Amino acid sequence: MEGRRLWFLFLVLVFLSGSATAMEFSGYNYSDALSKSLLYFEAQRSGRLPYNQRVTWRDHSGLTDGLEQGVDLVGGYYDAGDHVKFGLPMAFTITMLSWGVIEYGEDIAAAGEYGHALEAIKWGTDYFIKAHTHPNVLWAEVGDGDTDHYCWQRPEDMTTSRQAYKIDKEHPGSDLAGETSAAMAAASIVFRESNPHYSNLLLHHAQQLFKFADKYRGNYDSSIGVVKGYYASVSGYKDELLWAALWLYRATDKDNYLNYVVSNAHSFGGVGWAISEFSWDVKFAGIQILAAKVSMDGLGRHREPVSASKEVLQQYRGKAEYYLCSCLNRNDKGSNSNVERTPGGLLYIRQWNNMQYVSTAAFLLTVYSDYLREAGPRYMVNCPGGAVGSQELLAMAKSQVDYILGSNPMGTSYLVGFGHKYPSRVHHRGASMVSYKANKGFIGCTQGYDNWYGRQQPNPNVVVGALVGGPDSDDNFRDERGNYIQTEACTYNTAPLVGVFAKLNRRAQPILYKSTSQAYSY
């Protein structure tokens, strides 16, 4: 217990200093973390794998997806350790990957990973193009979570249902269509210079999907009941409509999209909700951060500010800074408006897969730190507990990333494959069984449970770059395959870290690293 107190005091001293010296006191090989994080998306690929596939324990899978419905739905990503292709978290994953490249593309390129980052995005957007078969039709899901969870099989052996589900005018899904629009709009910015034709195609789909989402409003989980037990849209669809409009504004610079964000700010909750989390479901904090950036830029690149719009965007900025202050523990004490932390200093939102909220917080803290720095020294985050500058935001982001990579009471990296100690029994079907490349013998539905699920040995395959659910509120972690609350990883956990790793790596370039698991000092 005494050791834990000393550890916590050390973290507090580092955090409170808020200086560049404290922030750069120690760190990790962020370049290696970046490379591994991008490798993870290759492990999650569905469809026919390309010739340059680097995760060699995977093989082709889901090659008949959509066949029964007469549509080609081969490709895309499995979201976690199972084999359903869920559209909403997949689209959020691509939005976050694209945002990371937009903000930190030069840093990703400096680490030699720009091509892999674009490949990770394009694997998702290629699938979305296929899934958007009509202006008002989007295929939302392939596979059924219930039947999928009855089986423990490699994706190459799947015998479970590959039923496909769609949204359309009669069965709307504004949240799903809105998030997919956001993903394609953000990706269109990424590909604008390297592949302008593809960029224009993505933007065309994004604009169509936004019109569909806005005209035919409704929650996608009301239209597709099978998704309720897995990715229910608790926040509704209004945040996704604002999210999509902001990304389309950023991609097109057209006033109508910004006007949509301003005119619907109150009725859609954009300036009403003060949120302390950001996730595949709840987008308000991300919306508010993007709107705050527009406010700092003076409402647009080619026009004078409009007073009414300026006022609303300032309100968005106020809510964005509420989120940041809550992460920094700088909101009013005793009001339950600050994010809880574990004794070791990790942000803690909820028990199940808490790391998803940590990685998104690290990303928003990092980008807002840059937005403040670019805006000039007069811009600060005005928290109730005191004004906060760019360096303190980045220091907080770095503290969360370093916790993930090993600076924690368990002394383990929660990014699989990074360092010398990391989870070895990840709740992941393909990783937990002998590779299809090594043994093409069929493994049946219950055979996987009988022979592989309960094994005490480490997984035969390492799902490198996966960010698992992470420790509990007391920093404890059980590395057990059946402990899916802590050991299952998801694409949307890792996606926000790509940009943050690149940013931290660029700052640490003058340093010679000792190893991928040991901290270094200046």
Q: Which residues are catalytic?
A: 82, 427, 479, 488
Q: Is 352 exposed, middle or buried (0-12, 13-18, 19+ CB in 10 A)?
A: exposed
**Is-contact 418 468, C-beta < 8 A?**
no
Q: What whole-number distance in Å separates Cα of residue 227 and Cα of residue 238?
A: 19
Query: Residue 288 in 3-state DSSP?
Result: helix
Give φ, ψ of 96 to 5 degrees. -70, -40
Q: What whole-number distance in Å separates Cα of residue 430 and Cα of residue 181?
A: 30
Give φ, ψ of 61 to 5 degrees. -160, 160
Tell me the DSSP string of 55-116: -TT---B-TTTTGGGTS-----B--SSS--EEHHHHHHHHHHHHHHHHHHHHHHHHTT-HHH
Quote the strand ranges of 106-197, DSSP E: 138-142, 164-167
Query: Residue 216 in 3-state DSSP?
Result: coil
What is the distance in angstroms between the CA of the first residue and the CA of the last residue of the chain? Answer: 30
Q: What whole-number distance in Å separates Cα of residue 24 and Cα of residue 395?
A: 8
What are 64's two structure tokens?
């008949």
Q: What whole-number distance in Å separates Cα of residue 203 and Cα of residue 184?
A: 6
Give φ, ψ of 388 to 5 degrees. -130, 140
List 347's β-bridge partners, or say none: 341
| R_g of the chain, CA atoms, integer Å | 22
**Is-contact 380 317, C-beta < 8 A?**
no
With CA atoms as reference, report the closest residue to 44 among 141, 120, 150.
Answer: 120
Query: Residue 434 in 3-state DSSP?
Result: coil
Give φ, ψ of 451 to 5 degrees. -105, -15
What are 73's two structure tokens?
């739905």
358 CB-side CA count, 13 A:
31
With CA atoms as reference, report the closest residue to 262 among 276, 246, 250, 247.
Answer: 246
What are 194's two structure tokens?
């390297």
Quote the strand ranges of 307-366, DSSP E: 340-341, 347-348
Distances (CA, A) of 468 to 142, 246, 491: 24, 30, 10
**Is-contact 481 487, C-beta < 8 A?**
yes
**Is-contact 15 396, C-beta < 8 A?**
yes
